[in-house]
Chain A
């Protein structure tokens, strides 16, 4: 009787496939890490926190890369994970800020154009933070890396028309809040 010993070959195949996956992941790592960072930064507006969140998202993406081999799926999955992690982090930040604001006195605003710009930025972020999550996602994702509507639709896995209407609605609400 001939015995078919498949185990070593299987191991070899798995090892080769694993190495291929790693090479593939490594090839897209620079782009993916920038995307994850920007998504996180758009929510957190703090470099260190955004880098931490992006690292975590990339680590999770790497663990799931075998099932997310399609680059489009990986990117959209990465965006969702980075977004979710960043929102969680942001909630923690807001809780901490509230505690610190109670304890520490508010510094007086600087005079001049810079103070006005800072004030506008604060109002904008407050307005963005108050948007419903589905509107906030598209309005923050659209300017990242110059994404057009179709790219945002791919990343969010939504129809392009839905993205367009959500983006319009989000911008209109923000404009009204900033008036």
Chain B
């Protein structure tokens, strides 16, 4: 008898499947197929035992407590209050840090205050003084803090003061003669004042039609 048609059904039989009765009869009568079926059943039994052992495996003794602590940690971090509180705390910390930094530099701030209250030097003082180091104070702050004195003085920016210092040095060394300097005055200027008469513009809706036509014809 040929075993071919029954071979594939032996695995079905081994795992408890329902097969045709002649398969079981053949497996009982054929030593080769019977041996294969026995081997298959033994392997399936081993497999089931291994899977059962695997399925009954218990986690470690500290597993549950580790899970609990992790969940508690996540619960704390996901509290709605913390979502609001954390940014507020961060802002407060930043402000506090800024204040701390400001307190730690009293010398610098007092220097700044002194420079604000110091009267602006006159042009002559500026000319006599060496070129001033670069200041970080903006011009408008210096102007605002300047005392209201009725002295005639000119506030110049840094580039101008440097130019004046160079000029003073040249005058002092004699490389530039004072008489060669020429100040511009209104009389020597070529510019002449011209008078512009105000425009005579009338409202359009009140103007007569005849005038309109003359207006249009005017070149």
- A121's nearest neighbour on chain B, judged by CB, is B50
Count chain B CB atoms within 10 A of each CB in A145, A146, A174, A175 and give the residue with the most: A175
Q: How far is the CA of A144 from the CA of B57 in the complex (A)?
A: 9
Number of A-B pairs whose CB atoms are under 8 Å?
Answer: 105
B 40-80 to A, binary, CB cutoff 8 A, 1 in contact else 0: 10011011101110111111100110111011001100100
- A25's nearest neighbour on chain B, judged by CB, is B71
| Cβ contact within 8 Å between A172 and B15 | yes
| Cβ contact within 8 Å between A179 and B36 | yes
Q: Which of A34-42, A80-88, A99-107, A154-162 contacts B (4 or more CB under 8 A)?
A: A34-42
Out of A59, A140, A179, which one reaches B40, CB within 8 Å? A179
| Cβ contact within 8 Å between B66 and A55 | yes
User: What chain B residues lie within 8 Å of A37 (beta carbons)?
Assistant: 57-59, 63
Out of A29, A124, A140, A179, which one reaches B64, CB within 8 Å? A29
User: What chain A residues lie within 8 Å of B51 (beta carbons)?
Assistant: 42, 139-140, 142-143
Q: How far is the CA of A141 from the CA of B14 in the complex (A)?
A: 21
Main secondary structure of the interface of B (DSSP, over half): helix
Out of A33, A120, A145, A178, which one reaches B63, CB within 8 Å? A33
- In which size bucket is the chain B interface? 20 to 34
User: What chain B residues lie within 8 Å of A140 (beta carbons)?
Assistant: 51, 54-55
- On whether A38 and B40 interact (CB within 8 A), knowing A22-B75, A33-B63, A62-B74, the answer reads no
User: What chain B residues lie within 8 Å of A174 (beta carbons)?
Assistant: 44, 47
| Cβ contact within 8 Å between B15 and A58 | no
Q: How far is the CA of A62 from the CA of B68 in the complex (A)?
A: 11
- A170's nearest neighbour on chain B, judged by CB, is B15
Count chain A CB atoms within 10 A of each CB in B39, B47, B74 and give the residue with the most: B47
User: What chain B residues lie within 8 Å of A179 (beta carbons)?
Assistant: 11, 36, 39-40, 43
Out of B47, B55, B70, B71, which one reaches A124, CB within 8 Å? B47
Main secondary structure of the interface of A (DSSP, over half): helix
| Cβ contact within 8 Å between B71 and A58 | yes
User: What chain B residues lie within 8 Å of A124 (beta carbons)?
Assistant: 46-47, 50
A45 close to B (CB within 8 Å):
yes
CB within 8 Å of B: which A120-152 residues? 120-121, 124, 139-140, 142-146
In the A-B complex, the 8 residue pairs with the closest CB atoms: A143-B55, A144-B55, A171-B15, A37-B59, A143-B51, A178-B43, A175-B11, A143-B52
Query: Residues of A at under 8 Å CB distance from B?
Result: 22, 29-30, 33-34, 37-38, 41-42, 45, 47, 50-51, 54-55, 58-59, 62-63, 120-121, 124, 139-140, 142-146, 168, 171-172, 174-176, 178-179
Known contacts A54-B63, A139-B51; 6 further A-B pairs (Cβ under 8 A): A29-B67, A42-B54, A47-B57, A47-B59, A59-B70, A178-B44
